Amino acid sequence: MAAAGTEPKSVRNWEARGRREVLAGHEVFVIDAAPTEVESGPPLLVLHGFPTSSFDWRHVLPAINRHRRVLLLDFLGYGLSSKPDLAYTMALQADVAQAFVESRGLEGVSLVTNDMGDTVGGELLARSLEGTLPFQILRRVITNGSIYIEMANLSDGQLFLLALPDERLASPFDPGGTGFRAGLARVFSAEHPASDEELDAQWWLTRREGGDQLLPRLIRYIEERRANEGRFTGAIEEHPSPLTVLWGDQDPIAVYAMAERLVAARPDATLVRLEGVGHLPMIETPAAVARAILAGT
């Protein structure tokens, strides 16, 4: 099922930058952006969050892509990737990300993550610690995500979806997208509110191929994070690669105290506080995010 309405121009432009490839047995949208100038530094693997996609990073990409190869993907079930009706585990999403890097023959990457991407990144880091990841994670930048789930202020929308069975909805979720837009708008800060164009594009990407009906399945990452926090957050804390913690301090869900707790566990980490910024700093303040990524990776 295609999303209702015309594909927004911003999405169309983003889609034109990438392609769909089969990774871990599924069709996944990827962007493999070669540096636009002389390369200096390892490739960056960028992982997005729930319920959005790599589209979140479009304003950051030009700056980080000048001297770095940048790999972005839409996780299975998200954005421009395929949306099969199955259980969406962090192991599956990590398999997809791992297959992407392996397909490029890379020996090492720096990891940049946000929201659910922090958890997928945690699974990759755990595999690295176990010696089963076929490439190195050299440095990392972690941004707003509920890495300490007991500290998270889950939204009404998240709680509603978690209360539903782990199965595809029989009919479209939130016809018209009013509730989705309102919920997404609330994770932005008052200083950097989401535009109508942003919310429309995000809803179009979610609705694409009936993805809105999969939201009760996609949200299960929260349950998995709660059950396996020792594995995911343990690896985030323990992996020896240099760590930058980049956090919007007005995040209503993944509160700033999480960043402080992570740095207390990793006192060698660099903490970058983005004042007056919410849950999606790469959209709200892309220039500041780009600077911190380049400094940290």
pLDDT at 204: 97
Q: Let me know if residue 2 belongs to a domain.
A: no
Q: Running DSSP on this structure, what letter comes out for residue 139?
A: E
pLDDT tens, position by position, 85-99: 999 999 999 999 999
pLDDT at 3: 44
Q: Let me know if residue 58 belongs to a domain.
A: yes
pLDDT at 176: 87
pLDDT at 288: 98
Where the chain has pLDDT below 50, the residues are 1-3
* pTM, rounded to two decimals: 0.97
pLDDT at 248: 98
Q: Let me know if residue 3 belongs to a domain.
A: no
* Domains of the chain: total: 1
pLDDT at 154: 96
In this structure, are strands 136-143 and 108-113 parallel, antiparallel, or unpaired? parallel
Domain around 189: 9-296
Q: Let me know if residue 183 belongs to a domain.
A: yes
Backbone angles phi, psi at 248, to 5 degrees: -75, 125
pLDDT tens, position by position, 97-152: 999 999 999 999 999 999 999 999 999 999 999 999 999 999 999 999 999 999 99
Which phi-psi region, left, alpha or beta, contains residue 118 (left: φ > 0; alpha: ψ -120 to 50)?
alpha
Domain CATH number, residue 35? 3.40.50.1820
Q: Let me know if residue 87 belongs to a domain.
A: yes
pLDDT at 4: 54
